[in-house]
Structure 1
Amino acid sequence: MKDKKFISVPVATAVGLGAIIGAGIFVLSGTTIALAGANALIAFVLVGVLAIIIAMELGELGSIMPHAKGASFSYIYEAFGSEMGFITGILLYFSFSTAIAAIALGFGSYLGSLVGLHTGYYPIIFAIILIFVLAIVNIVGIKKAAKADFYLVMVKLAILTIFVIAAVILAYTTKSLNTSNFVTPVAKDNISAIFAASIAVFFAYSGFQSISTFTSDIKGGANKAAKAIILSVLISMVFYILVVLALILMVPASKYTISADPLAFALKYVHAPYSIYALVTIGALIATTSATLAMIMTSSRILYQIGDNKLLPKFFRKFNYKKDVSVNGVIISSLIGIVMLFSGNIYIIAAISNFGLLLSYLVASFAIIHFRRIKKFGSFKTPLYPFTIIAGIILLIVFILGMPREALDIGVVIILLLFMLYYFFIELRRDKVIKEELFK
């Protein structure tokens, strides 16, 4: 293998950033303030700390299995076998494939607003075009897709930096800043509101898992992949906190509502110049483009890995090794994304996505314990073991229990259906029923 075939750490970090700093920072930042007031800053830090723990865990698991392409599914499959692997793998896959719709729809809404076609089906049409184009970019090959994402991310970070600087200047020049901006309403000044905001923003941090789907393609191997994962989380956390601070500097926390364009709302509140509006919109388009690109790439590779482990039919195992891309996976994920655009309920889609992610991260945490127990080590180890793992498990359980009731109900139903489907296919292949003795 020649070095030119490998992806550098900066490019790998950009892929993670492209997925993390996507629709979340442009859409969810205002929602977290609406849910928890100025305490949204605590929510971003809390989820960020959990994301760093999970990032380190995935870095260790990736160093144990550097050629795995299925992210946490592959690690769970190797640690606990096909049953747990199948259930968490399918849940994880749908988490990423359904997220394609939500992020692409954000792109369609921003583009529709920019060109004056924000009503009717225009945002959906724009979203479909985006998914179609990015599917082609992915099919061209992982390296080209990663490089395209690198440049998108660099522009996006530059725009966010300009937004934060502009926010500080506007806050002081328009005299909109005062201490009351950071006052949180009594109804939102509690632990439950912070956790509600944390759950709302959790998915925004989860894109770093995309890096673990191509660990073997990163120059320097598993150690460098782990570094890229952790860097992507740390950089995104800094930008999330700066943007939330900028928003509260311009507008009192009590005035935010759940909306899709908090940055534009804040700029309008302080009567910012039109050029800033245009720049923010361009930033939103770039952000949602790079995040959609990362989600298509990640979901397709997870689907391929599930198929490659013989848990799905042969059709899902098609992989172009020359271009390092799962062609059928890209097509299926893109089609699911397009279909979900017409679901009409992004809230349920996001809730299901979060449930699958949280569950896969929880089981992956136990996988670390399993591999340590059997003395299977990689080149990278999670610091302060086992305390960091225990802290991550506790936080993940708290987040799962704190999810909206609808999300928990849907998640439990899906798990039961996957259990039945799994055993149906097993028993279908057997000549007689296997009866195990659980106790002697």
Structure 2
Amino acid sequence: MREHGLVRALTLKDAVGVGLGAIIGAGIFVVTGVAAGVSGPAFLVGLLIAGVIATFNGLSSAQLAAVYPQSGGTYEYGYQLLTPGFGFAAGWMFLLSKLSAAGVVAIGFGSYFSQLLPIASPLAFSVGAVVLLTIANLFGIQKVGRINLAIVAVTLLSLLYLVFSGIPAMDAGHFEPFAPFGLAGVAESAALLFFAFTGYARIATLAEEVRDPATTIPRAVIITIVTAILLYAAVSVVAIGVVGTEAMAAGTSPLQTVAASLTAPGVQLVVTIGASTAMLGVLLSQVIGISRMMLAMGRRKDLPAFLQTVHSKTRVPNVGIIITGLIILLLTVFGSFEFIVRSATFTILLYYSIANLSALRQPSRQQIYGKAVPVLGLAGCLLMSVALPLNVILTGVVLLVVGFGVRVMVKKL
């Protein structure tokens, strides 16, 4: 095995599939219930705000990926348009947040799947999923793309079945009072739901493996965000109409609560299957994105150089994939570090702030959406960061400092 380049094999359909697989996961199956609890039915307004801010961020990322179609996404943009420090900060925060989130998602998959097939413990299913998806990633990006599309299709169909099953059972009274917690509740729900949309960045991280990236990536990002907003809105409206926001917020599985109150044949089973495949889709996209970020950072010696290894036949970063799988496995078995999970909000906002700053630094001829888009995206990130608890911000800063310490040690090797 020696170093080779990656192969451009992903089509527009594949890229959209990766984006949707990353977005339609814990956000729609869990976070909608949390958002309902903090703002009541007005979380629909928070959803719209989150979608608009996510769109600005997504367009900035798409504009950058069209010009810099390399693995690493914002890590590369920060390096090339800002400073190496900004680039490293983006890459390090991406790795921390996505690795930790992957452990949580793997645990979530085991919890759901054990309900469908109660023949083993949830942990056994979680471990099995991590191992199988890591192995699948080693067989090449085309095969992974096909697996991902199949997973996303099942998730989408399950959610559509829930929506159409729930429409006849909706009660308009569940939308009153609409905003019991006022503007503060709406703002908090927007911040919560924004993080549910951030998976579209995975498309930019895979830019080196997308065909005709200058055209495909902007289209894929826009299609992904619009589809996700419409799906979240449809599911949320039906969920509120069927059971109300108090019932949604009462448990950790709001959509299963909705399904349990419906009489459509097999709807509870379908939703549980959809939740399981949604977690699988997110986990698969995490392995893809994390290993490509490791590849990019290994190339610049911000992480050990062996991470840039690409398999001569399958043309995937096999070393990065194996290490990613091992770390996720450890986090799944021993539990994700809670303080890292809590700081995910800060890390994501930092990541997208750097993306918007990079887009602002692009020459005017490259700014296909103008300066207003990255300005509004950056403003949205900064406004949401103001609302974060101080301990979350401080944890994120400490993790960033640790990262720069690791970088210094790696450079000395």
- So what's the TM-score if we normalise by structure 2? 0.92
CA distance in 1, matches of 2:317, 2:275: 28
Other-structure match for 2:341: 350
**Corresponding position: 1:58 with 2:49:** no
CA distance in 1, matches of 2:231, 2:360: 32
CA distance in 2, matches of 1:423, 1:258: 47
Other-structure match for 2:389: 404
Choose which of 94, 97, 104 in structure 2 pairs with 1:95. Answer: 97
Deviations 1:226-282 (A, max 9, x none): 1001111110111011111111011122333253311111222x2535611001111
CA distance in 2, matches of 1:425, 1:297: 23
Deviation at 1:149, TM superposition (A): 0.7
Within 5 Å, give how 1:158-307 maps onto structure 2: 158-171=157-170, 177-184=171-178, 186=180, 189-257=181-249, 259-268=251-260, 270-273=261-264, 275-307=266-298
Other-structure match for 1:365: 356
Q: Which runs of 5+ in 2 are unaligned?
A: 1-6
Q: Tell me which amino acid in the other structure corresponds to 2:25.
A: G
Contact residue 352 and residue 410 of structure 1 kept, 8 A = yes
CA distance in 2, matches of 1:337, 1:157: 26
Deviation at 1:294, TM superposition (A): 0.7
SS class of match (2:165): helix
Other-structure match for 1:21: 24
Q: Tell me which amino acid in the other structure corresponds to 2:296.
A: Q
CA distance in 2, matches of 1:196, 1:336: 32
Deviations 1:32-85 (A, max 9, x none): 11121111111211111111111111111111112x100111111112232222
Deviations 1:410-439 (A, max 9, x none): 10111222344445666x58xxxxxxxxxx
Q: Tell me which amino acid in the other structure corresponds to 1:156.
A: T
The 1:57/1:155 distance shift into structure 2, 3 A limit, reads same
CA distance in 1, matches of 2:172, 2:88: 53
Q: Tell me which amino acid in the other structure corresponds to 2:74.
A: S
Contact residue 174 and residue 240 of structure 2 kept, 8 A = no
Q: Tell me which amino acid in the other structure corresponds to 1:359.
A: L
What's the Cα RMSD here?
2.3
Other-structure match for 1:418: 403
CA distance in 2, matches of 1:344, 1:321: 35
Contact residue 73 and residue 207 of structure 2 kept, 8 A = no
Contact residue 59 and residue 223 of structure 1 kept, 8 A = no
Contact residue 33 and residue 245 of structure 2 kept, 8 A = no
Contact residue 97 and residue 334 of structure 1 kept, 8 A = no
The 1:309/1:163 distance shift into structure 2, 3 A limit, reads same
Higher Rg: 1
Contact residue 99 and residue 349 of structure 1 kept, 8 A = no
The 1:356/1:5 distance shift into structure 2, 3 A limit, reads closer
Deviations 1:139-174 (A, max 9, x none): 111111012111221222122111101011233xxx
Other-structure match for 1:77: 79
Q: Tell me which amino acid in the other structure corresponds to 1:327.
A: N
Deviation at 1:23, TM superposition (A): 2.1
Q: Which runs of 5+ in 1 are unaligned?
A: 172-176, 430-440
The 1:328/1:125 distance shift into structure 2, 3 A limit, reads same
Within 5 Å, give how 1:30-69 maps onto structure 2: 30-66=33-69, 68-69=70-71
Other-structure match for 1:331: 322
CA distance in 2, matches of 1:345, 1:294: 18
SS class of match (1:229): helix
Deviation at 1:21, TM superposition (A): 0.7
Deviation at 1:185, TM superposition (A): 6.5
CA distance in 1, matches of 2:9, 2:284: 19
The 1:344/1:214 distance shift into structure 2, 3 A limit, reads closer
CA distance in 2, matches of 1:258, 1:97: 28
Other-structure match for 1:310: 301
CA distance in 1, matches of 2:410, 2:267: 56
CA distance in 2, matches of 1:392, 1:43: 16
Within 5 Å, give how 1:135-154 maps onto structure 2: 135-154=134-153
Deviation at 1:332, TM superposition (A): 1.8
SS class of match (2:249): coil
Deviation at 1:210, TM superposition (A): 1.2
Identity %: 24
CA distance in 2, matches of 1:94, 1:352: 9
CA distance in 2, matches of 1:312, 1:83: 14
- So what's the TM-score if we normalise by structure 1? 0.86
Q: Tell me which amino acid in the other structure corresponds to 1:267.
A: A
The 1:407/1:321 distance shift into structure 2, 3 A limit, reads farther
Deviation at 1:314, TM superposition (A): 1.8
Deviation at 1:348, TM superposition (A): 3.8
